Amino acid sequence: MLHTFDFGAVRVPANVSGHPTTVPAGYIVPAGPLALLHPFGETEFYRHGWNSWSPSGWARTDGATIGIKNSPRRLLTADDAANETPHTHSGSGVGAVVGYDGDVLLVGALGLGTPRVGADGNVLWARSEADTAEWFIAYGPELDVFAHYADLLSERLGRRAERAGTVWSSWYSFFEGIDERLIARTVADLSGYPFDVFQLDDGWEPIVGDWTAGPDFPSGMEKTAATIREAGFRPGLWLAPLIALPQSPLARHRPDLLVQDAAGRPLVSGYNWGSHYYSLDTTQDEVKEHLRDVFKRVIGWGFSYLKLDFMYAGAITGCRRSDAPREAVYRDAIQHIRNVVGDDVYLLGSGVPMIPSVGVFDGVRVGPDVGAFWDNAERSGDPSGVGARNSVVASINRTWMKRLWEVDPDAVYFRGVRSLLDSGERQTLRDTAAILEFRSTSDPVEWLTDAERAQLVEYMKENAVIEQIGRHVFRVNGRCVDLSPIVTGAAVTGAASLIV
């Protein structure tokens, strides 16, 4: 039906799938396709990525799109193989265009169903794979409309109150090269440093898909968890519970537990670790039992902070035992995991589809992997490639998500060694994580100078007051941090902090 939304300053005719209701911050319309005819002409569009690693940001509708173009094969950071449209301005869940005086017209899904929002000339459109989510429509100051959207979303999907505190993670220093002696030494060196969590990342397991102690942890994971706890830290562990490499026992012995392709073979859901990998079909009872066993085991070892990675793979298009909409399948799987681990375990999502994860995860990664270099020459022009700049840009464009969960922009650096980052770039990473209020690093203290150690201590102890004064402009304890030059690509280096 045709409806004209009256926002005072502007009237917007629209095609909607049912009667709009008025809420204090805007309108809610029933699920179904939606198209708004706005009078703003070519303007800026906010594109929101489907999963943690997919890019988010503002781009002019008459300019280049933000997205992943010309990839020879599916990237994990893409919105999704089935609906990625790199040559249109579109994103996942929520989208917005800039109107008069900087006010913003926003359309956002209030639930699951793989909703997409796009801008096509003067049409702001929204549609979903499964028409299960109502839409929120609002016009007003940018920060306000995004805040209203986030609040309505968490009203429906939940919001957890846990806080991670400060985190040390093994990934951005040792990568997969970890073993129990290295971890014990690193933990001992960190003793007395202001960290709440010590999180083991990828590399402890024998193979992705087999969540038992690997050969480099001969004393068992319980022992490492105890070492971490005795040093005064909360033990944290990385897992990718919804995927399995082809050589894993699960994939070799029980291919019937995997999501299938149309030909009845296990469906490839991504590439990493020099291989393709598969997704577990979480609609099967046996898979639910498997997940129960895995999570009971890791909790039993003593880990109470879990980084759950590559989670998008539980929501890809494919053949499962049940044909429920894929985001609903995913939501059911993470609810199951939450039920198994209970409320006291901190769940950090990484590579998660964002909207369907609201209310279940305590914290969520909001950008691609950081790296000890500013830009990625290998994947230059790909905003989802590993690197400090891409991580800052994607993360800061998801600042509004702080109302949904703890927003993790990834690790910051203090070290001058084993890194190409200059001190200005390191400062920009630290400012970004201070703004987003999630402070983590992977720097072993052994790699740091005395001055860098002192800087780490000061940073990890700091409890900053954060104010957002513009789209990419903040105050951190009164100090102005303007990330706009970095986000717009104007800055060649990361030296974006200015003192006013």
Q: Active-site residue numbers?
A: 309, 369
Q: Does 419 bind ligand 9PG (CB under 6 A)?
A: no
CA atoms within 13 A on the CB side of 428: 32
Q: Distance between CA 363 and CA 407 in Å, rounded?
A: 6
In the bound state with ligand 9PG, the residue whose beta carbon lies nearer, of 94 and 243, is: 243
Two tokens, residue 90: 């579109």
Strand order in the sheet with 21-23: 21-23, 26-29, 135-140, 104-109, 94-98, 44-47, 57-60
Q: Candidates 76, 110, 207, 259: give the one binding ligand 9PG (CB under 6 A).
A: 76
Q: Is 327 in the site for ligand 9PG (CB under 6 A)?
A: no
Q: State the distance between the two ends of the chain, measured CA to CA, in whole angstroms.
A: 52
Q: Under the criterion CB under 6 A, does residue 104 sit at the interface with ligand 9PG? A: no
Contact, 391 vs 367, CB < 8 A?
Answer: yes
Q: Judged by CB under 6 A, does residue 77 bind ligand 9PG?
A: yes
Q: What is the DSSP string of 395-436?
A: HHTTGGGGGTSEEE---B---SSS----HHHHHHHHHHHHHH
Residue 214 tokens read as: 């690997």
Is residue 180 near ligand 9PG by the rule CB under 6 A? no
Is the distance from CB of 284 to CB of 321 less than 8 angstroms? yes
Q: Is 154 in the site for ligand 9PG (CB under 6 A)?
A: no
Verify binding: residue 196, ligand 9PG, rule CB under 6 A: no
In whole angstroms, the minimum distance from the beta carbon of 270 to ligand 9PG comes to 7
How far is it, in rounded angstroms, from Cα 354 to Cα 92?
9
Contact 308, 352 (CB under 8 A): yes
Name the residue whose CB lies closest to ligand 9PG.
202
In angstroms, what is the minimal distance from the CB of 358 to ligand 9PG? 19
**Residues that contact ligand 9PG, how many (by CB under 6 A):** 12
How far is it, in rounded angstroms, from Cα 279 to Cα 410?
25
- Asked if 53 touches ligand 9PG (CB under 6 A), the answer is yes
Can you tell me whether residue 111 is helix, strand or coil?
Answer: coil
Window 244 to 303, contacts with ligand 9PG (CB under 6 A): 272
Tokens of 235: 């033990």
We find the least distance from the C-beta atom of residue 500 to ligand 9PG, in angstroms, to be: 34
The reply to whether 375 sits near ligand 9PG by the rule CB under 6 A is: no
> Least distance to ligand 9PG from the beta carbon of 154, Å?
24
- Options 80, 84, 142, 202; binder of ligand 9PG; rule CB under 6 A: 202
Q: Which of 369, 375, 408, 425 forms a contact with ligand 9PG (CB under 6 A)?
A: 369
The first and second tokens of residue 313, run together, are 């793979």
Report the residue number, 45 or 168, with the smaller CB distance to ligand 9PG: 168
Torsion of CA 473, 61, 18, 359, to 10 degrees: -40
Stretch that binds ligand 9PG, among 69-77, 88-96, 178-186, 292-300 (CB under 6 A): 69-77
Question: Which range, of 75-83, 108-116, 128-136, 395-403, touches ligand 9PG by CB under 6 A?
Answer: 75-83
Listed residue (194, 282, 289, 186) closest to 232, CA to CA: 194
Tokens of 481: 């941090």
Which span (71-79, 139-147, 372-380, 435-443) binds ligand 9PG, by CB under 6 A? 71-79
Q: In whole angstroms, what is the distance from residue 79 CA to residue 297 CA?
A: 32
CB of 120 to ligand 9PG, least distance (A): 28
As given in the structure block, the two tokens for residue 317 are 């298009």
Smallest separation, CB 28 to ligand 9PG (Å): 34
Which span sits near ligand 9PG by CB under 6 A: 3-11, 74-82, 129-137, 185-193? 74-82
Of 2 and 377, which CB lies nearer to ligand 9PG in the complex structure? 377
- Helix count and strand count (H, E) for the chain: 11, 27
Give the whole-angstrom CA distance, residue 157 versus residue 477: 32
> Is residue 69 helix, strand or coil?
coil
CB-nearer residue toward ligand 9PG: 152 or 407: 407
Q: Rounded to the nearest whole angstrom, what is the least distance from the CB of residue 291 to ligand 9PG in the complex?
A: 19
Binder among 45, 46, 149, 171 for ligand 9PG (CB under 6 A): 171
- By CB under 6 A, residue 304 contacts ligand 9PG: no
Pick one of 201, 327, 406, 425: the residue that binds ligand 9PG (CB under 6 A).
Answer: 201
Chosen residue from 84, 134, 309, 452 binding ligand 9PG by CB under 6 A: 309
Dist. CA 176–CA 200, nearest whole Å = 10
Residues 208-247 binding ligand 9PG (CB under 6 A) are 238
Closest of 364, 476, 357 to residue 410, by C-alpha = 364
- Output Rg (C-alpha) for the chain, integer angstroms: 22
**Type of residue numbered 479:** R
Specify the residue, 60 or 74, whose C-beta has the smaller distance to ligand 9PG. Answer: 74
Minimum distance of ligand 9PG from residue 212's CB (angstroms): 17
Query: Which range touches ligand 9PG (CB under 6 A), out of 19-27, 70-78, 258-266, 352-360?
Result: 70-78
Give the footprint of ligand 9PG on this chain (CB under 6 A).
Answer: 53, 75-77, 171, 201-202, 238, 272, 309, 350, 369
